[in-house]
Amino acid sequence: MCGIVGYVGQADACEVLLNGLRRLEYRGYDSAGLAFFADGAVQVVRSVGKVAQLAERVAAEWPAAVRARATAGIAHTRWATHGAPTEMNAHPHADESGRIFLVHNGIIENYASLRRQMEGRGHHFLSQTDTEVLAHLVGECYRGHLFEAVAQALKHVEGTYGIAVFTAEHPGEIVVARNGSPLLIGVGTGATLVASDASAIISHTRQVIYLQDGDVAVVRADGVDVRNLDQIPVDRAVSHIDWDDTAVEKGGHAHFMLKEIFEQPESLQNTIRGRVDLRAGCALLAGLNLTPREMAEVNRLVLVACGTSLYAGMTGQYAIEDLAGIPTDTEQAAEFRYRNPILGPDSMVVAVSQSGETADTLAAVREAQRKGALVAGVCNVVGSTIAREAGRGVYLHAGPEIGVASTKAFTSQVLVLLLLALALGRGRRLSREEGIKLCQEINAVPALVQRVLAQDGAIAALAGKLVAAQSAFFIGRGVLYPAAMEGALKLKEISYIHAEGYHAAELKHGPIALLDAQTPVVALLLDVPGRDKTMGNVQECLARHAPVIAIATEGDTEVAALVPDCLLVPRTGTYTAPILAVVALQLLAYHVARLRGCPIDQPRNLAKSVTVE
């Protein structure tokens, strides 16, 4: 996720801003920039790459004496969403006049139409970003009063934002605003700071004001004035941060993995935003860059991926075949790339990759292109190699995933593939009514995930049943079969307990020989096709005295009666059920690893992105 730092005080603004950005580096980013006020003017420096490179550029371009006289400024680390990671796309962005500078976290949904309107009024844009459009909008509204200009401009905006804005004409103030993207104000002595999270300012002050959605504030060295978009004053309390520095980086969570598990209502909302057309009952996936006719000509689909992304692909396969009626396979990328796959111009190969850098998946993309197939990427990192070489696709918008064990990327991948199935299906025999029903199920997912997360305590208690196991099985059928595989992978990679994900029907074809009182089985029994048959398999496990943990749908008294160690998750559709099941399994694996004292964020032997074969 991007990072914001702002400062209004007596001096040394550059150093304060750069140190603040350094404290935000953990959030993942690909470019950085700052604007500072010194000697009567605002200077802007931006660079691709790390904060260290930005600091070198600042030192090279501005003598220490000038930097020391800087009294205010804003700074940003960018995690690309609209537009590749380039210096031109880095923040701060300026308005048409070049007088007003703005940094932004979030996604402006209607930026394209705003940009077209302003181009029609003679505006010229230098970047591909939604942020620059917002800067120009503020500039259009500016009549000498920055706060009013920002409040007016934001009334035309749809989407999420956390912004900091400033101008040389009012060097003693920064205007900030929040809607859906965190922003806080640090109240210091003789100086006031703003930031997207407390880690950037905690070394200066622990007295903070957390802005709420709809707030707009003027920040000065000697005080803060918080209002709403109608410029009516609002009262915001000053809180005291008592977290230690590292805890602040993780949002108060013990590990990045746990932070990212709990981010899923927000990350899923960001994945969905702007992509569900409830009126037509369809998905809007502009990044595919395919006409309806081209989509209708796809007669075969192959999903290629590795690891967790492979299980997301396997999950998506059910939805695509059921909803679009297109023969679909999911292949491990290394197998695909070497087995001389049979593809044609009516084949579509979808590479699923959080990092967009996995070597085998990238090689699979290139092999598919050599064979003339349509290729698309489902990636989280904007501008990643797979995303660039595929040339078309759908970004997750899940924000950077720091924990090596993939969590929020998986659930966003499943949702994107469901949106793809909906788009392909509505171009075929899926009716508008069926599409609307699916859109409603998709829109409901973030809130349902929130309800699963609320059961964290119950899941932590169930973890105690697994913590001493040498080996465990995860079983499921249908859409829950890949979910079982993913649950087993989570447990393996962070707790180091051997675990196998198995199709529930397969147990009796051999693995049941391994079941005994020391071998727990986690059974996915949500109310989707296959549940009743899996119940029979659970009976077979219980008959061998295997301890069973069940995950079922709220109200399923039959499962709760058969399996006392049962977690109930909200009712949802068939194709969204794996998301709820896997969120519970993520927390289960996390608590087992925590109880076993494992490192969790950086498990032994693992890398976040496997860029070698």
Catalytically active residues are 2, 608
SS3 category, 32? strand
Distance CA 457, CA 439 (A): 31
d(CA 176, CA 215): 8
Q: Are 182 and 162 in contact (CB under 8 A)?
A: yes
107 touching ligand AGP, by CB under 6 A: no
Count of beta carbons in the 10 Å neighbourhood of residue 98: 11
- Please choose, out of 49-57, 176-184, 307-315, 472-480, the segment that lies near ligand AGP by the rule CB under 6 A: 307-315
- Which residue in the set 131, 406, 495, 534 belongs to the binding site for ligand AGP (CB under 6 A)? 406
Amino acid residing at 64:
A
DSSP letter, residue 233: B
Is 127 among the residues that bind ligand AGP (CB under 6 A)?
no
Query: Residue 196 or 315: which CB sits closer to ligand AGP?
Result: 315
- To ligand AGP, the closest distance from the beta carbon of 326 in angstroms equals 23
CB-CB contact of 414 with 613 (8 Å) = no
Q: Which is nearer to ligand AGP, 320 or 405 (CB)?
A: 405
Tell me the torsion sign for CA atoms 367, 369, 370, 373.
positive
Residue 361 beta carbon to ligand AGP: minimum distance, rounded to whole angstroms: 5
Q: Applying CB under 6 A, which part among 132-140, 288-296, 300-308, 517-525 lies near ligand AGP?
A: 300-308
* Residue with the shortest CB distance to ligand AGP: 307
Residue 316 host element (H or E): helix 307-324
Which CB, 175 or 396, lies closer to ligand AGP? 396
Pick from 116, 125, 62, 49: nearest CA to 93? 125
586 binds ligand AGP (CB under 6 A): no
Q: How far is the CB of 384 from ligand AGP (least distance, A)?
A: 9
**238 vs 606, beta carbon nearer ligand AGP:** 606
Closest approach of ligand AGP to the CB of residue 87, in Å: 26
Q: For residue 570, is the peptide bond before it cis, meaning its omega torsion is within 30 degrees of 0?
A: no
Q: Which is nearer to ligand AGP, 406 or 572 (CB)?
A: 406
Is residue 609 close enough to count as binding ligand AGP by CB under 6 A?
yes
Phi, psi of 538 (to 5 degrees): -65, -40
- Contact flag: residue 361 with ligand AGP (CB under 6 A): yes
Q: How far is the CB of 525 from ligand AGP (least distance, A)?
A: 24
Shortest Å distance, C-beta 438 to ligand AGP: 25
Among 47, 129, 131, 309, binds ligand AGP (CB under 6 A): 309
557 vs 272, 398, 536, 560, CA distance in Å?
Answer: 33, 35, 16, 5
Phi, psi for 156 (deg, rounded to 5): -95, 0
**Span from 180-188, 201-209, 286-294, 306-314 in contact with ligand AGP (CB under 6 A):** 306-314
Phi then psi for residue 306, to 5 deg, are: -135, 155
Does 264 contact ligand AGP by CB under 6 A?
no
Give CA–CA dist 395/205, Å, rounded: 37
Question: Binding ligand AGP by CB under 6 A: which of 106, 162, 186, 307?
Answer: 307
Q: Is 353 in the site for ligand AGP (CB under 6 A)?
A: yes
CB of 548 to ligand AGP, least distance (A): 25
Distance (Å, whole) CA 567 – CA 528: 16
Report the 10 Å Cβ neighbour count for 575: 25
Question: By C-alpha distance, which of 179, 323, 185 is closest to 241?
Answer: 185
271 interacts with ligand AGP by CB under 6 A: no
d(CA 179, CA 162) in angstroms, rounded, equals 6
Q: Smaller CB distance to ligand AGP: residue 270 or 358?
A: 358
Backbone angles phi, psi at 127, to 5 degrees: -120, 180
Q: Which range of residues in 206-214, 305-313, 554-562, 594-602 is near ligand AGP by CB under 6 A? A: 305-313
Q: Which of 132, 493, 500, 556 binds ligand AGP (CB under 6 A)?
A: 493
Gap between the Cα atoms of 288 and 420, Å rounded: 9
CA distance 264 to 553: 20
At its nearest, how many Å lie between ligand AGP and the CB of residue 352? 7
69: which residues sit within 8 A by CB, 6+ positions away?
A: 11, 38, 39
**Spatial separation of the C-alpha atoms in residues 249 and 26, rounded to whole Å:** 7
Stretch that binds ligand AGP, among 1-9, 44-52, 213-221, 350-358 (CB under 6 A): 350-358
Strands (E) across 341-414 are located at 347-353, 374-379, 393-395
Measured distance CA(136)–CA(229) in Å, rounded: 18
Count of residues of this chain found to bind ligand AGP when the rule CB under 6 A is applied: 15
Q: Is 7 helix (H, G, I), strand (E, B) or coil?
A: strand
Please state, in angstroms and rounded to a whole number, the distance separating the CA atoms of residues 83 and 87.
11
Q: Which of 202, 276, 306, 374 binds ligand AGP (CB under 6 A)?
A: 306
Quick check: 404 binds ligand AGP (CB under 6 A)?
A: yes
Q: Interface with ligand AGP includes 384 (CB under 6 A)?
A: no
Q: Interface with ligand AGP includes 267 (CB under 6 A)?
A: no
Q: x/- binding map, residues 411-440, to ligand AGP, per CB under 6 A? A: ------------------------------
d(CA 516, CA 520) in angstroms, rounded, equals 8
Cα–Cα distance for residue pair 403/212, rounded to 1 Å: 28
The nearer residue to ligand AGP, 91 or 490, going by C-beta atoms, is 490
Nearer to ligand AGP, 310 or 452 (CB): 310
Tell me how far apart the alpha carbons of residues 528 and 574 are, in angstroms, rounded to a whole number: 5
Interacting residue with ligand AGP among 19, 31, 81, 355 (CB under 6 A):
355
Piece in contact with ligand AGP (CB under 6 A), picked from 9-17, 121-129, 142-150, 401-409: 401-409
Q: Does 610 bind ligand AGP (CB under 6 A)?
A: yes
Residues of this chain, 498-557, that bind ligand AGP according to CB under 6 A = none
Stretch that binds ligand AGP, among 152-160, 222-230, 303-311, 471-479 (CB under 6 A): 303-311
Q: Which spans of this chain sit near ligand AGP (rule: CB under 6 A)? A: 306-309, 353-355, 358, 361, 404-406, 493, 609-610
